[in-house]
Amino acid sequence: MVKQKRKKRKSKKKSKRFEILKVLKAALVLVGVVLLVGFMLNRTGLIPKGKDLVTDSKPLVVDKAPKKSQDKEKPAVNNAKKKYYNTNKKEDGYSCSWENGSELPLITQVNQGQKQLVKHKGYTVLYNKNTLLPDWVAYELTRDEANGKEKRSNKFTVDPTIKGRSATNADYKNSGYDRGHMAPAADMGWGEDIMRESFYFTNICPQSPSLNRGVWKELEEQIRRLAIRDSAIWVVTGPVSDSVVKRIGPNKVVVPKYFYKVILSPYKKNIKGVGFVFENKEYNKRDLFIKYAVTIDSVESLTKLDFFPALPDDIEEDIESAIDTKYWVN
């Protein structure tokens, strides 16, 4: 009996050892399989490496709208490939859109029979067939364009795109008024056809000689300097159409009492804007253009135009309600 019990105990011990060995063997096989699979995945690149597993702790920021370039110079302009400005008709009127989407300006309640929107290579104009003047002329002046070398043509002519009535040279003959450019010829010196278009009567208004050759010209020269300094300047300019002094010539061209310019430096870190209003009168040679600087809000009140409506409201309000005179004379 004692021998039989010892035999049973020995057989049980052997059985337990065998089971332990089986478990160890299975574990080793499993570890081997895992290592082999891991090696194969690593070879195929399916497992990311250590540096790829490091995540950025910064929160993800999604821009709702494209940011404006801050203090970046615009690329050089290829005159042959420069695009026309986009012009779109909206439910409440026409708007002139620049390539970056900002709109200059928005005009409401346009009478299409009396007004015609024309796109030229150097500027866009809303021409008024009642006054025979532009309501506004809008253009962007880049650094390269401000340095244009095209010679002045001096050939004032009717805009061939205008349908119907237009001013002519006969209206200005012996009138006592200069044929004053809204977009100056010197800003359009970056191409022969651009220079030619600047002498269309859609870009011309009767101005007193001392205004046209004095403070108005000085402001135009300063705008070119600003375009060179800031890489580009946006300009919207024209007569105050409902301020009528008299009419001249066989076509009864309106002589406006006031002229305005609104300018914007859009590519600086802090966008700047300013307006100018000039009375159509005789000026002293010592008069300085900066004396006639006003807020853009003031020009909007005078002209009933809305400048830069595509800007965010808070930026638009800041720009249009203040004047930084030092910025515009340095």
Provide the domain count of the chain.
Answer: 2
On the question of pLDDT at 98 being above 60, the answer is: no
pLDDT at 26: 74
Same-domain check for residues 26 and 125? no
pLDDT at position 195 over 90: yes
Domain annotation covers residue 72: no
Mean pLDDT of all residues in 120-129 = 93
Q: Answer whether residue 54 shows pLDDT above 50.
A: no
Residue 155 lies in a domain: yes
Q: Give the residue numbers spanning the domain of 98.
A: 79-329
CA distances from 316 to 85, 107, 245, 301, 307 (A): 22, 17, 33, 15, 9
| 41 shares a domain with 105 | no
Is there a single domain that holds both residue 47 and residue 177? Answer: no
Q: In the prediction, which pLDDT does 71 show?
A: 42
For residue 61, being part of any structural domain is answered with no
High-pLDDT (> 70) share of the chain, %: 69
Same domain, yes or no: 44 and 118: no
In a domain, 66, yes or no: no
Residues 188 and 295 in one domain: yes
pLDDT at position 313: 80
Torsion angles phi and psi, residue 195, rounded to 5: -60, -45
pLDDT of residue 224: 97
Catalytic residue among 181, 224, 261, 272: 181
| Model confidence at 89: pLDDT above 50 | no
Band of residue 106 on the pLDDT scale cut at 50, 70, 90: low
181 is catalytic: yes
Comparing 216 with 102, the larger pLDDT belongs to 216
pTM above 0.85, yes or no: no
- Residue 79: phi and psi, rounded to 5, are -55, -35
CATH of residue 229 = 3.40.570.10
Does 146 share its domain with 226? yes
Residues 110 and 28 in one domain: no
Look at residue 70 and tell me if it is in a domain.
no
What per-residue confidence (pLDDT) applies to 78? Answer: 37
Whether residue 212 is contained in a domain is answered as yes
Is residue 71, in this structure, part of any structural domain at all? no
Asked, for residue 74, whether it belongs to a domain, the answer is no
- Mean residue pLDDT of the chain comes to 78
Residues 90 and 171 placed together within one structural domain of the fold: yes
Output helix, strand, coil percentages for the chain, rounded to the nearest 5: 35, 25, 40
